[in-house]
Amino acid sequence: MRVVLASNNAKKLTELRSLFAALPVELVSQKELGITEAEEPHVTFVENALAKARHAARAFGGAAIADDSGLCVDALGGAPGVASAHFAPVEPQAAEREVQRALQDAANNRLLLDRLRAFQAASERRASFVSTLVALRHADDPEPLIAFGRWSGEILFAPRGSGGFGYDPLMFIAAFGRSVAELDAEAKNAISHRALAAREMAALMRAQWLR
CB 140 within 8 A of CB 63: no
Of 67, 68, 105, 168, catalytic? 68
Q: Do residues 64 and 56 touch, judged by C-beta distance below 8 A?
A: yes
What whole-number distance in Å separates Cα of residue 84 and Cα of residue 88?
9
Task: Report the SS3 class of residue 58.
Answer: helix
What's the CA gap between 158 and 169, in Å, rounded?
8
Query: Is the Cα dihedral 131, 136, 140, 143 positive or negative?
Result: negative
- Give the C-alpha separation, 47 to 69, whole Å: 11
Nearest-angstrom CA–CA distance, 34 and 11: 18
Question: Pick from 108, 123, 122: which is nearest to 71 by CA?
Answer: 108
Catalytic site includes residue 114:
no
Scanning the chain, the segments in alpha helix (DSSP H) are 10-19, 45-60, 97-115, 185-191, 193-208
DSSP letter, residue 176:
T
Q: What are the residue numbers of the active site? A: 68
